[in-house]
Amino acid sequence: MKKVLTTPVTYEQIKDLKIGDTVYLTGMLATCRDSGHKRVVKEKVMPENFEFKDGAIIHAGPIVGKDENGKQYMVSIGPTTSRRMEAAEADFIEQTGIRVIIGKGGMLEKTTEACKKFGAIHCAYPGGCAVVAAQEVEELQGVEWMDLGMPEALWIMKVKEFGPLVVSIDTEGNNLFENNTKIFKERFDKLV
């Protein structure tokens, strides 16, 4: 059976999740990547129409189109490399109370510690599978920070069973990609 998280996401909903588990997300989701993180963490600016607390963000820069009636819709949205947000993510978690962070690949130590300390998880969505993801966006509800350009703006979406999301950092501080990296490294050591 599909395990579905629904926003607002409580600590209860995620505390038993383990790395490697596959989940889906239903509810509200906003894109937030490099410049968005800078804005929140450095400039202390919060979006007006999106609640980070107990919420979910995705490291992603989408392609947004307009339909015949001029209404914006999600053409294509996939995750971008989460590791780029490593320098800011721990502060982001602490300052906003975000619960679910979605992205591509894993994140490092500081984020892992913050997830454990503040009760958050990081999930990996299969990179590049952007049309599949766009089909799971029910409605594009708004956008903020358009001055940053289409990829960097904060797009607010209503999603239904958005996934597959593989838990890559759990609330106990386990890190799937760090574990995998160790395995890859052992194989590398045998090679050279």
Partner 1 sequence: MDESLRQQFVRTVQDFTAMTGIYLPDDVEKRLRELRQSESIENAKTMYDCMIEDLSLAKQLHRPLCQDTGVLQYFVEVGTEFPYLADIESVLVEAARKATLETPLRPNVVEPLGEHNTGDNTGYGAPYIEYDLVPGGSDLRLRMYMAGGGCSLPGRSKVLMPLEGVEGIKKFVYQTILDWGVNACPPLCVGIGLGTCAATSAMLSKKALLRPIGTRSQYPEVAKLEDEIQAGLDSLGIAPLGFGGSHTVLNVNIEAAAHHPATLGVGITTGCWATRRGEIIIHKDLTSEIISHKKALEV
Q: Which residues are catalytic?
A: 37
Beta strands, E only, the chain = 4-6, 22-31, 56-58, 63-66, 72-76, 100-103, 121-124, 137-144, 154-169
Residue closest to 54 by CA, chosen among 16, 114, 9: 9
Distance CA 192, CA 186 (A): 10
Q: Which of 5, 23, 40, 77 binds partner 1 (CB under 8 A)?
A: 77
Give the nearer residue to partner 1 in terms of CB position, either 46 or 150: 150
Binding at 149: pick from ligand SF4, partner 1, none (beta carbon under 5-8 Å per type): partner 1
The torsion angles phi and psi of 14, rounded to 5 degrees, stand at -110, -10
**Residue 113 near residue 101 (C-beta atoms within 8 A):** no
Stretch of residues binding partner 1 (CB under 8 A), selected from 5-13, 92-100, 112-120, 183-191: 183-191
Work out whether 65 is an interface residue with ligand SF4 (CB under 6 A): no
Site string for ligand SF4, 68-87 (x = CB under 6 A): ----------x---------
Distance CA 58, CA 25 (A): 11
Distance CA 114, CA 87 (A): 12
Q: How far is the CB of 39 from ligand SF4 (least distance, A)?
A: 23
Interface ranges with partner 1 (CB under 8 A): 20, 22, 35, 60-63, 65, 75-78, 80-81, 83, 104-106, 124, 126-132, 134-135, 148-152, 164, 166, 177, 180-181, 183-185, 187-188, 191-192
